[in-house]
């Protein structure tokens, strides 16, 4: 791998920044100062330092983000603020993207990664990854409403939604777990029982719970155990 690509993929520096640092003698590989960032290195074996800091290479990165309301789940948008805008420059240079999406006004857990194969697998309809949401709705759910939501409802697709798990805290609030990712699915499911979602927060994705210590707009890297778990899916 080229040195400048290595520095870019680790979020250390852009290629132009790398060239500037190299000219200033700020980059070394295995203790030797490197002035040409086009040289090839072995990211698994070579020790790279940038401006005095050792850079550790990881093929894939994973972040947990507590998405706030009003931010779109995209890498770029001409008019709206995106989830990547909430991250430091280092992470915006890594090629991260949201693994799935949350509606603009839905809050909560969003996984960001640069592992395209894993994201494709987790989002595949065949995978049936569980996603749990905490909700508040407009009117109290009846026993019949709950039975319909658990069994599957007609939201205007070719087939009804797959069975869901539903737990109520009160008549108008609770948690619902689905294994699909249809457009505006939860909102449409509640519309199908003549109700309306007032607030929606994702609290778990693919077995990874939202860290309760993360404030809205906050983020952290997945732990090694969390990363290994999600990669096993």
**pLDDT computed for residue 45 by the predictor:** 92
Report the predicted TM-score, pTM, of the whole model to 2 decimal places.
0.83
93 pLDDT higher than 90 = no
| Assigned architecture for domain 3-55 | Roll (3.10)
Q: 107 — phi, psi (to 5°)?
A: -110, 175
Among 36, 42, 89, 103, which one carries the catalytic annotation?
Answer: 103
Instruction: Label residue 196 by pLDDT band (50, 70, 90).
Output: very high
The sign of the dihedral angle between the CA atoms of 16, 18, 19, 23 is positive
Known catalytic residue: 103?
yes
Q: What is the mean pLDDT of the chain?
A: 95
Tallying the residues shown for the chain, one arrives at: 233
CATH topology of domain 62-124+214-231: Alpha-Beta Plaits (3.30.70)
Q: How far apart are CA 154 and CA 90, in angstroms?
A: 44
pLDDT per residue as tens digits for the range 111-153: 999 999 999 999 998 899 999 999 999 999 999 999 999 999 9
The ranges of the chain annotated as CATH 3.10.290.10 are: 3-55
pLDDT per residue as tens digits for the range 9-54: 888 998 999 999 999 999 999 999 999 999 999 998 999 999 999 9
DSSP-derived pairing of the beta strands 197-205 and 131-137: antiparallel
The ranges of the chain annotated as CATH 3.30.70.580 are: 62-124+214-231
Q: How far apart are CA 214 and CA 108, in angstroms?
A: 10
Decide which of 2.130.10.10, 3.40.50.300, 3.30.70.1560, 3.20.20.70 is the CATH code for 131-205. Answer: 3.30.70.1560
The ranges of the chain annotated as CATH 3.30.70.1560 are: 131-205
Mean pLDDT of the 197-203 span: 98
């Amino acid at each position: 791998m080229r040195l400048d690509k290595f520095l870019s993929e680790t979020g250390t520096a852009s290629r132009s920044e790398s060239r500037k640092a190299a000219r200033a003698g700020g980059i070394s590989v295995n203790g030797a100062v490197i002035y040409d960032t086009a040289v090839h290195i072995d990211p698994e074996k070579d020790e790279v330092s940038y401006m005095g800091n050792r850079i550790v290479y990881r093929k894939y990165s994973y972040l947990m983000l507590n998405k706030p309301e009003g931010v779109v789940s995209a890498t770029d948008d001409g008019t709206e603020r995106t989830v990547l805008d909430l991250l430091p420059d280092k992470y915006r240079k890594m090629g991260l993207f949201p693994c799935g999406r949350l509606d603009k006004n839905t809050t909560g857990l969003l996984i960001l990664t640069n592992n395209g194969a894993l994201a494709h697998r987790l989002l595949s309809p065949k995978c049936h990854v569980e996603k749990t949401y905490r909700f508040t709705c407009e009117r109290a759910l009846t026993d019949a409403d709950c039975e319909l939501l658990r069994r599957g409802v007609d939201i205007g697709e070719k087939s009804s939604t797959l069975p869901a798990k539903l737990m109520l805290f009160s008549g108008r609030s609770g948690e619902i777990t689905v294994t699909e990712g249809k457009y505006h699915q939860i909102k449409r499911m509640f519309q199908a029982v003549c109700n309306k979602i007032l607030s929606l927060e994702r609290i778990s994705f693919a077995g990874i719970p939202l860290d309760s210590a993360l404030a809205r707009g906050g983020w952290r890297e997945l732990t090694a155990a969390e990363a290994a778990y999600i990669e096993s899916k």
